[in-house]
Amino acid sequence: MSGARVARLARVIFGVGFSVTCVAMLAVDSNFCAEVSAQTETDARQRPQPGPDNNYYFSEPGPAGNWFFRGADFDTNQTNNASLPVVIGGVTMYMGKGNWLKYLMIESIVLVNRSGKPIKAFRLNWIIMTVEDHSAGKNRDAALLEGQTDLIDPGLTNLGGRTKPFDLEVVKAAKPLARNGTLNGDFIMRIRLSEVQFQDGTAWTE
């Protein structure tokens, strides 16, 4: 898959309220898109949809205060680097309702696998920045908080595609920003790959 093809933005969609959305989905060929669509339907059947009965898969309440997470995106500087074997091509996220209104969940991502090798696991690095810094085009130098996930089983074929749900709770991750239990401000989370392990025993690390 050419770097130019990956670099073209196909759509940017974000909706507040409970709706699974794909953000900055990068253009790929039609076969790849068909596979991602089919995989999305399969994932939806593998577990109940997020809802009040399962607390939208959120595990704990957030801090007090006037806080809001406008959304999440991925580091396109990394995605547009044609030398990398695997990059992020899209993010699926949603917000809860009721008691979980304003709570943001990164449910899954789309991986673009340029290596041709089956992926065993991956790890994400994440940062949280203010909306103002995000609008100004800043990146990791503007991080208020940074962290990483555990290794995640993607549940993918070697062609890449949408991962199975892994549920990165954005508000929970941001709790260290609270002071005396209170958090105020408008924020955005940005993710990038920091490690990819392949089934042949090799690995890529940032």
Q: What are the pLDDT digits (tens) for 136-171?
A: 999 999 999 999 999 999 986 667 899 999 999 999
Closest to 2 measured CA to CA, from 71, 82, 66? 82
Q: Residue 159 has what pLDDT?
A: 72
Cβ contacts of 5 within 8 Å, gap of 6 or more: 27, 28, 29
CB 106 within 8 A of CB 93: yes
What whole-number distance in Å separates Cα of residue 204 and Cα of residue 122?
9
Q: Work out the widest C-alpha separation in the chain, in whole angstroms.
A: 51
Number of domains in the chain: 1
**For the CA atoms of 36, 37, 43, 45, what is the dihedral angle to 10 degrees?**
-160
Residue 202 one-letter amino acid: T
User: 179 pairs with which residues across the strands?
Assistant: 182
Q: What is the pLDDT of residue 28?
A: 38
CA distances from 119 to 116, 165, 183, 190 (A): 9, 16, 38, 22
pTM of the model: 0.80
Query: What's the Cα-to-Cα distance from 6 to each of 46, 90, 100, 124, 183, rounded to whole Å?
Result: 29, 11, 35, 20, 37
Alpha-carbon distance of 135 to 194, in angstroms, equals 24
CB neighbour class for 103 (10 Å; exposed up to 12, middle 13-18, buried from 19): buried
Domain range for 26:
3-205
Residue ranges of the chain with per-residue pLDDT less than 50 = 1-38, 40-41, 44-45
Nearest CA-CA partner of 16 in 80, 75, 97? 97
